[in-house]
Amino acid sequence: MSDDAITVDPAQAALFTLEGKTAVVTGASSGIGRRQAIALSRAGATIIAVGRNADALDAVMKELHNGGVAVQADLATADLSGVLAEAIAMTGPVDILCNTAGVNLREPAADISRESWDLTINLNLTVPFFLARELVPGMQKRGGGKIINIASLQSERAFANSMAYGASKGGVAQLTRAMAEAWSGDGICCNAIGPGFFPTALTAAVFDNEETAQRNAAQTAIGRNGKLSDLDGVTVFLASAAADYITGQVLYVDGGFTAK
Ligand SMILES: NC(=O)c1ccc[n+]([C@@H]2O[C@H](COP(=O)([O-])OP(=O)(O)OC[C@H]3O[C@@H](n4cnc5c(N)ncnc54)[C@H](OP(=O)(O)O)[C@@H]3O)[C@@H](O)[C@H]2O)c1
């Protein structure tokens, strides 16, 4: 049989397509969020890409396969009830929310100020809840949706100089279950991806230190740190009909870090 004769089973393809869907991705200007926006777009979704850095957002928009709208906003201070209204008027209602924007300020406990604590908890934990709550009524009206939060190895265990970050990500794991409890009955599946170590601006301090990077890689079962492309499949999967009976879960994409 020649390669030309190979066809994709349409029912199987329908499980993973995001054609006709609109996805909001926060943190789309960089790192994991940027990669998720591109992966969702490749699967057919129209993207509402949210971040503060306008130039970086413009660059991401050019990489999208299926178009979308950039929203420049500081989510830590924005009015979350109105921040997406203009974009949604252009794209149509939102089916998928990736709550990916986040910070890790890497401060020793003694140096954490009330401001840095509040910023970390706000952006990493509070914003995902309130942004989701803004979008849930629309998803309910349409009979369902997908919410994908970003947890962390620090949802499970502590690392040095990350008390506020760890508290926020422990919260994200529980927020994900609570969202699932509240909204899954309306067809809204709420899950989190728990990345291991991926090279982004947020983990520059980790990857700049060769010894630390190698120690983290050795701690995985697979024997390497993550590549951003390792997140493509899980993002599309959790956003797609293939994951319609999966909710309230934290799916670790960590090369087996948490298993070992
Ligand atoms: N990299 C890893 O190994 C790893 C592991 C576990 C979990 N995570 C999580 O993955 C998520 C993405 O992080 P990353 O590694 O991709 O880091 P990153 O490259 O630094 O991206 C962080 C994103 O958050 C956005 N952001 C930060 N503050 C914001 C604010 N006030 N308002 C709006 N957007 C804001 C940034 O956009 P602007 O700068 O344009 O505002 C950027 O797009 C975070 O939740 C992080 O905790 C990462």
Over residues 171-189, the pLDDT tens digits come to: 999 999 999 999 999 999 9
pLDDT at 13: 86
Residue ID of nearest Cα to ligand 1 atom 48: 195
Beta bridge partners of 148: 98, 191
**Is 259 within the bounds of a domain?**
no
**Is 6 within the bounds of a domain?**
no
Judge whether 98 and 39 are in contact, CB under 8 Å. no
152 lines ligand 1 (CB under 6 A): yes
How far apart CA 39 and CA 63 sit, in angstroms, is 10
**Is 42 within the bounds of a domain?**
yes
How far apart CA 63 and CA 27 sit, in angstroms, is 15
Reference 97, options 147, 131, 51; nearest CA is 147
> Is 165 annotated in the active site?
yes
**Is 214 within the bounds of a domain?**
yes
**Is 258 within the bounds of a domain?**
no
Mean pLDDT (whole number) for 111-139:
98
Residue ID of nearest Cα to ligand 1 atom 45: 102
How far apart CA 224 and CA 218 sit, in angstroms, is 7
In angstroms, the first-to-last Cα distance of the chain is: 43
**Is 7 within the bounds of a domain?**
no
CA of 200 to the centre of ligand 1 (A): 8
How far apart CA 130 and CA 137 sit, in angstroms, is 12
126 lines ligand 1 (CB under 6 A): no
Residue with tokens 């989510």: 75
Judge whether 36 and 101 are in contact, CB under 8 Å. no
How far apart CA 25 and CA 116 sit, in angstroms, is 24
29 lines ligand 1 (CB under 6 A): yes
166 lines ligand 1 (CB under 6 A): no
Mean pLDDT (whole number) for 225-232:
98
Q: Which long-range contacts (CB under 8 A, 24 or more apart) does 182-187 make?
A: 183/136, 183/139, 183/140, 183/147, 184/247, 184/248, 186/136, 186/139, 186/140, 186/143, 186/144, 187/139, 187/140, 187/143, 187/144, 187/145
**Is 4 within the bounds of a domain?**
no
30 lines ligand 1 (CB under 6 A): yes
Domain at 88, CATH number: 3.40.50.720
pLDDT at 9: 86
pLDDT at 4: 64
- Cα 177 off chain centre by: 16
What Rg do the C-alpha atoms of the chain give, in angstroms?
18
Identify the DSSP state of 241. Answer: G
pLDDT tens, position by position, 83-103: 999 999 999 999 999 999 999
How far apart CA 79 and CA 171 sit, in angstroms, is 22
- Ligand 1, closest atom to CA 29? 43
Query: Domain range holding 124?
Result: 12-252
**Is 62 within the bounds of a domain?**
yes
**The total number of structural domains that make up the chain:** 1
Judge whether 148 and 97 are in contact, CB under 8 Å. yes
**Is the pLDDT confidence value at 1 over 70?**
no
pLDDT tens, position by position, 40-78: 999 999 999 999 999 999 999 999 998 999 999 999 999
- Report how many helices (DSSP H) and strands (DSSP E) the chain contains, helices first: 10, 7
